[in-house]
């Protein structure tokens, strides 16, 4: 398996959208480094991120320089999704929405929205490739709705899914339909995460570096990622 690189936390994006366009991607690269022309069952998710200029910030500019080299080489990146309307709000999960999305070492950055990873236990086993699973949301109530993004971590791998349908039974056990389908089997030893991370490769690295001045800054364009096949 090729290395998986963690996203540099100083590269704070100001815009983010998680998309699930179905089987519109006819090929991709597996984690084993193989190109494939067969569509992944259920399609692959996309992630788009936009950034501010890293004006005179030496550390962020260095991180951007390192990152664009990795992206250009087709590296797999592990990126935490920042709090957005596509995630269940921290307030609904017993936290606060007042924290900064990314910890940056400043006094007002409490790291809650960056390092906090609330989760709900899986209520029943589901096979790899299943389009639905069950989770016990009794700790939080019926906070999960269609359009939310959730995920799983298993070993060194992370998976993200969009909620396409959901129903609740007595005791707030949710039956959740997701897209893409489950990439790994889940059991009652697993937990559904409300702050998922994605594993992706960049599709437009060659055009992502839109600005570079001699002294002051690197500017990243909109980065377009696609799920790394497993």
Domain CATH code at residue 62: 3.30.200
Answer yes or no: is 18 within a domain: yes
Q: How many domains does the chain have?
A: 1
pLDDT above 70 coverage of the chain, percent: 77
pTM for the full predicted model? 0.84
User: Highest mean pLDDT range out of 40-44, 88-92, 157-161, 201-205?
Assistant: 157-161
Answer yes or no: is 221 within a domain: yes
Answer yes or no: is 90 within a domain: no
Answer yes or no: is 26 within a domain: yes
Query: Closest Cα to residue 136, out of 197, 195, 188?
Result: 188
The Cα 59–Cα 51 span in angstroms is: 15
Answer yes or no: is 16 within a domain: yes
Answer yes or no: is 175 within a domain: no
* Whether 159 contacts 184, CB under 8 Å: yes
Answer yes or no: is 12 within a domain: yes
Q: What is the mean pLDDT of the chain?
A: 83
Answer yes or no: is 163 within a domain: no
Domain extent for 225: 1-81+197-230
pLDDT tier for residue 161 given thresholds of 50, 70 and 90: very high
């Amino acid at each position: 398996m090729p290395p998986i690189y963690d996203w540099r936390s100083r590269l704070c994006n100001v815009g983010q959208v998680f998309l699930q366009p179905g089987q519109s991607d006819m090929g991709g690269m597996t984690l084993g480094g193989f190109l494939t022309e067969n569509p992944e069952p259920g399609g692959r998710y996309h992630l788009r991120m936009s950034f501010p200029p890293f004006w005179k910030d030496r550390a962020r500019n260095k991180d951007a320089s390192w990152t664009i080299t990795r992206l250009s080489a087709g590296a797999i990146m592990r990126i935490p999704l920042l709090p957005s309307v596509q995630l269940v709000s921290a307030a609904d999960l017993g936290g606060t929405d007042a924290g900064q999305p990314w910890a940056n070492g400043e006094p007002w950055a409490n790291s809650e929205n960056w390092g906090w990873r609330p989760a709900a236990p899986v209520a029943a086993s589901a096979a790899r490739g299943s389009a639905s699973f069950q989770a016990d949301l009794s700790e939080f109530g019926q906070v999960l709705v269609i359009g939310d993004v959730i995920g799983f971590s298993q070993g060194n791998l992370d998976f993200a899914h969009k909620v396409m349908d959901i129903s609740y039974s007595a005791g707030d056990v949710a039956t959740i339909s997701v897209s893409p389908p489950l990439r790994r089997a889940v059991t009652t030893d697993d937990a559904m995460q409300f702050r998922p991370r994605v594993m992706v490769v960049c599709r437009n690295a060659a055009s992502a570096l839109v600005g570079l001045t001699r002294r002051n800054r690197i500017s990243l364009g909109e980065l377009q990622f696609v799920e790394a096949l497993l």
